[in-house]
Every structure is written in C-alpha cells, then in structure tokens.
C-alpha cells in the first residue's frame, strides 16, 4: 500500500492546509487591488497551486509552464528547456510564480529570467518548501514560503520519486528499502 512506503511524515495534511491558509491570506491582502496571474510549473506544484488558488479570497488567473532539465548538466549550469510556455501574455501584469520546492534555486532563477524579460508589472515567488541547505543561486525574491525543509529527499503533495508518490496527501520520507528496491 502507498502509505506503507513512507518512513516518516514531515508535514501532515492538516499542517500543510493550515500553512496554506496563512499564505493565501497574505497573498489575498498583498494583491487586494489587483488580479494577479499565478504561474505554476508542472508537475510538482500541481496540488499546491490547486489548493492555494481555492484558498485565496481574490480573483486570480492561472497559467502553467513545463520545463525539462538537460540531464545532470542542470546541477551545475541550471540549463533547462521550456517545453510548454504560458498561454497568457504577462506584460504589465502582476505575476506570482508558484513552486512546490526550491532546492538549488536554478529552476526558479531560470524561470525568473524568462518571465522578467516579458516585462511584468511585478514578479514574486511563492514556494511551499524551501530547502535552503542546497541553495546555489545567491538571491531569490521568495515572498511567500510554506516551510523550510531539511536536506532530505521528500515526496508527496506533488513531489515525486520516479514519478510516483505525488498523490500522497502529506509530505514525507520514503523508507530506504523502497528506494533501494527501485
Ligand atoms: C522540482 C520543483 C522545482 C525544481 C526545484 O521539479 O518542482 O521546479 O525541482 O529544484 P531546483 O531548485 O534545484 O532547481 P522537478 O524537476 O522534480 O519536476 P516535477 O515538478 O515534474 O516533479
């Protein structure tokens, strides 16, 4: 069974939703006079952005990007390729980039460069998890952060291990034997 593969729950479903309500309240207040465009990156942020958009009390637009990394090169160069661009024009709009996790920061830095070049009115980041221990990129404008996460491989609530475990309602750590067996 799915839950039997988990050694430890780091953030329960209740903890995630309580924190998400706080983030949504802050976003609703900060963007009260605007209708921001929430830009999300497939696939990890899927659950987070779905719950976040339903928790905010302001009208928001939603759009998606998909990217792929150039294999192991990403770890050093941050080279990623856009495989699905936004449908919306963002020039002059208030854009909030929504991520499930920021790890090295290379993906977010690439996305910021790409989005900034299109001249949005404002551009901020909202991430559920922040793994600062592995950060390579100097500074990222993270305005909304759910949880600081230790340097462990975590799954659930959108985060995968070999494309599995995204559908766990909480965030946890896999049992070592599950990882060893695959
Ligand atoms: C994850 C996450 C971020 C990125 C963060 O995506 O959604 O986009 O990694 O890592 P970084 O800060 O080191 O660049 P992943 O590549 O696992 O794809 P997925 O969203 O489809 O799971």
- Would you give per-residue pLDDT tens digits along the chain (182 residues)? 888 999 999 999 999 999 999 999 999 999 999 999 999 999 999 999 999 999 999 999 999 999 987 655 445 556 788 999 999 999 999 999 999 999 999 999 999 999 999 999 999 999 999 999 999 998 899 999 999 999 999 999 999 999 999 999 999 999 988 888 87
What's the pLDDT score for residue 51? 98
Specify if 142 maps to a domain. yes
Atom number, ligand 1, closest to the C-alpha of residue 159: 22
What separation in Å is there between the alpha carbon of 164 and the centre of ligand 1? 14
Closest CA to 90 of 125, 124, 121: 121
CA distance linking residue 43 with residue 40, whole number of Å: 9
Specify if 171 maps to a domain. no
Q: Is the pTM of this model over 0.75?
A: yes
103 is catalytic: yes
pLDDT in tens, 48-86: 999 999 999 999 999 999 998 765 544 555 678 899 999
Specify if 162 maps to a domain. no
Specify if 179 maps to a domain. no
What separation in Å is there between the alpha carbon of 33 and the centre of ligand 1? 31
> Does the Cβ of 145 fall within 6 Å of ligand 1?
no
Domain that holds residue 48: 14-149
Specify if 180 maps to a domain. no
Specify if 161 maps to a domain. no
Closest CA to ligand 1's atom 17: 44
CATH number at residue 36: 3.40.50.2020
54: helix, strand or coil: helix
Specify if 100 maps to a domain. yes
What's the total number of domains in the chain? Answer: 1
Specify if 110 maps to a domain. yes
126's CB contacts (< 8 A; 6+ apart) are 23, 27, 52, 96, 97, 98, 99, 142, 143, 144, 145
Q: What percent of the chain has pLDDT over 90?
A: 84
């Amino acid at each position: 069974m799915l839950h039997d593969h988990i050694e430890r729950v780091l953030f329960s479903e209740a903890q995630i939703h309580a924190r998400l309500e706080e983030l949504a309240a802050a976003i609703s207040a900060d963007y009260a006079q605007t209708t921001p465009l929430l830009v999300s990156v497939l696939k990890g942020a899927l659950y987070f952005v779905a719950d976040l958009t339903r928790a905010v009390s302001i009208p928001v637009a939603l759009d998606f990007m998909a990217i792929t990394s150039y294999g192991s090169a990403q770890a050093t160069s941050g080279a990623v390729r856009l495989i699905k661009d936004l449908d919306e024009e963002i020039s002059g709009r208030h854009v909030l980039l929504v991520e499930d996790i920021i790890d090295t920061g290379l993906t977010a830095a690439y996305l910021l460069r790409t989005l900034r070049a299109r001249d949005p009115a404002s551009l901020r980041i909202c991430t559920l998890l922040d793994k600062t221990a592995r950060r390579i990129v100097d500074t990222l404008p993270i305005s909304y952060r759910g949880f600081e996460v230790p340097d462990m491989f975590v799954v659930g609530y959108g985060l995968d291990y070999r494309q599995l475990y995204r559908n766990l309602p909480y965030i946890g750590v896999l049992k070592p034997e599950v990882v060893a067996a695959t």
